[in-house]
Amino acid sequence: MPKSLISIHDFSKEEMLHILDVASEMEKNKSQKILDGKVVACLFFEPSTRTRLSFETAANRLGARVIGFSDVGNTSISKGESLKDTIKMVSNYVDIIVMRHPLEGAARYASEVSNLPVVNAGDGANQHPSQTLLDMYSIRQSQGRLDGLTINMVGDLKYGRTVHSLLQAMSHFDPSFVFTAPAELQMPMEYKQFLTERGIAYRETTSLNEHLNDCDILYMTRVQQERFSDPMEYEKVKDVYRLDASMLGGVRSNMKILHPLPRINEISLDVDDTPYAYYFKQAENGMYVRMAIIACLLGYR
Amino acid sequence: MTTTARQLIVNAIENGTVLDHIPSENLFKVVDILNLAESQNQITIGSNLESKSFGRKGIIKVADRYFEDNELNRIALVAPQATINIIKDYKVIEKHKISIPEEVFGIGKCANPMCVTNHQKIATRFKTIVEGDRINLLCHFCEKTTNIINL
């Protein structure tokens, strides 16, 4: 097991499956005080309420205490302290560091500056590996397997880091993909090449309806305004896909809809009550997966 | 003075290292990477010299200094075709091509404006990815690829 979780590429297939197995143990036993007396730092250099609460709850459920900050406004970083100094300082206090940072590569750097395990809770548009693992956990839980599934990724496939990481992680499990995106936001060439090199099939479409009925997982994403430099480009594509319950008449009975949340308009509220909605369960799973990540990196599983 | 009959545009050195076939446009990048500005050795630099195979080339002659391979491989990114000549007593006693290292440290700048190395005092680190005659650099930190032209 690597010392830190920075990029999904650092973990082998076996290591990913181990985390998923531990997560399912955590789901069966939601409070275990195995980290009694430990301190977890949650350093959020940019705000992310959902991810932070999920990590903090995970640490608390394992019996650890949590310190940290949820944005840099009240910290010495706003006085100009370097990332290195902040990490060095915190490393003296705690047992493991969970961090989110707007700059890409910040978590990798922190893991090299610190002698402690570091969990990357998102570094800009680069990596967010706990999201990838919780997506995999939700896929396995809802389908009973990871192998041989058809995954339809919808929305911003150009800038969306969650779809890029999930695509690479799932490539170990003989998947086939559908990429549903407007012309401006299509899956970048490098990822399609990655699949071609591995003999993994993919189809591309601009129509959400085209492949609704022949996929096992419908992975919806939000078009994130913060990733666009040009506001005009954002306006053109922000509401391009809207899934509502009336579109789900012919889908496979096992089909499940995932979404990293928060959603804006891409999934209408009436989908929530269908048997296909899985995104709230997915968010809950995030906590078990993060419990597993912390426990594994600290050597308790 | 010289042991060769043809006339040299840049004077020969008695002992030392000659770096030949450097692209003229990257000549001074090589000077920077090898930190020659700080060197106390006698150095002659020729730019825009005629070359049969390259059109125009740059050349650097450093007297009384022999570089380590890992020093020279650092210039692979800007002068992948360079030739290294080891000179002793006016004769070329060793001639070799440089090779591209798997990883380079502290050279170049990541092209990703959001990369942490462009905002904090962090030495860059790249994996080199050779595709034909092109070299791409995969940033160790932000995992984005920088084209060598952007260096």
How many of the other CB atoms lie within 10 Å of CB of A1? 16
Q: What is each CA distance from B78 to A63, A194, B95, in whole angstroms?
A: 54, 28, 19
In chain A, residues with a C-beta closer than 8 Å to the C-beta of B141 are 104-106, 108-109
How many of the other CB atoms lie within 10 Å of CB of B104? 21
Judge whether A137 and B150 are in contact, CB under 8 Å: no
pLDDT at position B150 is 52
pLDDT at position A151 is 98
Of chain B, the end-to-end C-alpha distance in Å amounts to: 40
- Helix, strand and coil content of chain A, in percent to the nearest 5, comes to 45, 15, 40
| Sequence-ordered list of residues with C-beta below 8 angstroms from that of A10, at least 6 positions apart, any chain | A2, A4, A129
pLDDT at position A237 is 83
The ipTM assigned to this model is 0.88
In chain B, residues with a C-beta closer than 8 Å to the C-beta of A109 are 116, 120, 122, 141
Do A170 and A268 lie in one domain? The reply is: yes
pLDDT at position A229 is 78
Instruction: Please state, for a pLDDT cut of 70, what percent of chain A lies above it.
Output: 100
Mean local confidence (pLDDT), A51-73: 95
Closest-CA distance of chain B to residue A244, Å? 36
Long-range contacts of B119-123 (CB under 8 A, 24+ apart): B119/A103, B120/A82, B120/A83, B120/A84, B120/A103, B120/A109, B121/A82, B121/A84, B122/A84, B122/A109
Closest residue in A to B121 (Cα) is: A82
* Structural domain boundaries in chain B: 16-97, 103-150
Closest residue in B to A190 (Cα) is: B145
Mean local confidence (pLDDT), B106-123: 93
Do A85 and A201 lie in one domain? The reply is: no
Closest-CA distance of chain A to residue B139, Å? 9
CA distance A5 to A24: 19
Of B114, B120, B141, which has the smallest distance from its Cβ to A125's Cβ?
B114
pLDDT at position B1 is 47
pLDDT tens digits along A247-265: 999 999 999 999 999 898 9
pLDDT at position B50 is 87
Residue A7 and residue B143: Cβ atoms within 8 Å? yes
Residue owning tokens 């993909």: A177
Do A99 and A238 lie in one domain? The reply is: no
Judge whether A166 and A132 are in contact, CB under 8 Å: yes
In the predicted structure, residue B151 carries a pLDDT above the cut 60: no
pLDDT at position A215 is 97
| Residue of higher predicted confidence among A236 and A121 | A121
Mean local confidence (pLDDT), A116-132: 95
**Residues composing chain B:** 151
Do A141 and A265 lie in one domain? The reply is: yes
Closest residue in A to B112 (Cα) is: A104
Does the B103-150 domain belong in CATH 2.30.30.20? Answer: yes
Mean local confidence (pLDDT), B30-56: 89
- In terms of DSSP bridges, do strands B134-139 and B145-147 run parallel, antiparallel, or are they unpaired? antiparallel
Residue A104 and residue B122: Cβ atoms within 8 Å? no
Closest-CA distance of chain A to residue B143, Å? 7
Cis peptide leading into A262, omega within 30 of 0? yes
Mean local confidence (pLDDT), A214-218: 97
Provide the angle, in degrees to the nearest 10, between the axes of the packed helices A189-197 and A161-170: 10
SS3 per-residue string spanning A257-287? EECCCCCCCCECHHHCCCCCECHHHHHHHHH
In the predicted structure, residue B82 carries a pLDDT above the cut 80: yes
A7 contact B CB<8A = yes
- Among A22-26, A45-49, B10-14, the least confident range: B10-14
Do A80 and A171 lie in one domain? The reply is: no
Do A248 and A136 lie in one domain? The reply is: yes
Fold type of domain B16-97: Alpha-Beta Plaits (3.30.70)
Residue B116 and residue A127: Cβ atoms within 8 Å? no
Count of the separate structural domains present in chain A: 2
Per-residue pLDDT band for B111 (boundaries 50, 70, 90) equals: very high
B interface with A, Cβ–Cβ below 8 Å: 112, 114-117, 119-122, 139-144
In chain B, residues with a C-beta closer than 8 Å to the C-beta of A86 are none
Domain CATH code at residue A66:
3.40.50.1370
Judge whether B19 and B82 are in contact, CB under 8 Å: yes
In the predicted structure, residue B8 carries a pLDDT above the cut 80: no
Do A138 and A276 lie in one domain? The reply is: yes
Per-residue pLDDT band for B107 (boundaries 50, 70, 90) equals: confident
A109 contact B CB<8A = yes
Point out which residues pair with A258 in neighbouring strands.
Answer: A219
Chain B contact probe: residue of A46, A86, A126, A168 with most B CBs at under 10 A: A126
In the predicted structure, residue A205 carries a pLDDT above the cut 70: yes
Do A290 and A249 lie in one domain? The reply is: no
In the predicted structure, residue A171 carries a pLDDT above the cut 80: yes
Least Cα distance to A278 among A177, A144, A142, A132 occurs for: A142
**Most distant pair of Cα atoms in chain A: their distance:** 57
The answer to whether position A1 is within a domain reads: no
Least Cα distance to A105 among B136, B148, B120, B147 occurs for: B120
In the predicted structure, residue B149 carries a pLDDT above the cut 70: no
pLDDT at position A225 is 80
Phi, psi of B25 (to 5 degrees): -70, -20
Residue A101 and residue B116: Cβ atoms within 8 Å? yes
